[in-house]
Amino acid sequence: MQCNEFMKLNYKILIFALSVLGVATLYNNCSRVEFSQLPEDSSSLIGTGIDPENPPPRDEPPVVEEVVKNCADLMASGQLSKTPFQKIVFEDTEADRRKVCEFGKNGNLASRNDFIQARYEQTQKVNLPAGAILCTFELKTDATEFIYDDMFYLTYNDYIIATSLKTSLTRTSKDVIEFGEDKTPVSLYKYDWTRIAGAQFNNNDINRDPTAFNYCLGADLGAGECMWPNTQQQGRIDFGWDPELLINIGLKADSQNQRFGFIVTGDNDPGTDCYHPKMEFEVQAGYYIP
């Protein structure tokens, strides 16, 4: 599929806009989370009822309810620890076109119009202290426009938190978590190329009703809010999630393996498919160490 070259030259960066709501609504299951500037670092356990000098032994990973409460208490008391801002970069896929959308290689399928046949994957880790438990993310960028070709998947710890092809999620495996005070079931879809490869799409259908194909984790509960343009069109892109959802996914990996991924796909054109511009942003994590 052909992508407008002028768009590629002029729209270069993905924007992530995450901001924090007040603590009183931060963990309400119907609130959107915004990640604003975190308070200055201090002892990460003040306000949790845990003695920082003599933390209790822990044999099992913390349960989500415990982490949510600890994070809320630390934010309310202004004692949440934070990392320095660190740069996360997903390189422009035009940098080495020979290694992008390699149809029939490295697990990719042969070219086929209007099917997910090839992909290009990039992953970036977020540096956290050993043993840290994530509470919040703040991401910053100056960019406001984005373009991609054909479809994309944004992942956190290998779970899909946004994609332009929701219909492909039925092919993946999923975990079901309980969210909010009423313990509403929420599905977390695991990214697995071997399952997604071969999924069908139709640009005409997507252009007629993009909401039927766009997936933003938690959006159906008011706990996620996302925006992006249709494939091969430039436009603004925004993401926001309730921190309880991020906490659930954060607990699925240890502090040394917290990672974001961005995957872009193609159907039949190695010259223009699997395209996105360079995406560069700074991320700061709010955390505590039990």
The pLDDT of residue 18 is 36
List helix spans (H) across the chain.
Answer: 5-10, 23-26, 64-76, 193-196, 203-208, 243-250
Q: What are phi and psi of 199, to 5 degrees?
A: -65, 145
Higher pLDDT, 282 or 215: 215
17 CB contacts (<8 Å, ≥6 apart)? 139, 238, 239, 240
Q: Closest by alpha carbon to 33, among 115, 137, 126?
A: 137
The pLDDT of residue 26 is 36
Q: Is the peptide bond before 150 cis (omega within 30 degrees of 0)?
A: yes
Distance CA 92, CA 196 (A): 23
- Percent with pLDDT over 90 in the chain: 57
In degrees, rounded to 5, the angle at the alpha carbon of residue 21 between the alpha carbons of residues 134 and 63 is 35
- Strand bridging mode 215-216 / 184-189: unpaired
User: What predicted TM-score, i.e. pTM, was given to this entire model?
Assistant: 0.77
Distance CA 200, CA 167 (A): 8
When pLDDT is cut at 50, 70 and 90, the band that residue 51 belongs to is low
Distance CA 176, CA 188 (A): 6
When pLDDT is cut at 50, 70 and 90, the band that residue 258 belongs to is very high
Q: What are phi and psi of 71, to 5 degrees?
A: -65, -45
- Write out pLDDT tens, residues 137-172: 887 766 667 899 999 999 999 999 999 999 999 999
| Dihedral sign of CA atoms 225, 262, 114, 1 in order | positive
* Number of Cβ atoms within 10 Å of the Cβ of 213: 22
Distances (CA, A) of 128 to 40, 57, 82, 257: 16, 21, 9, 9
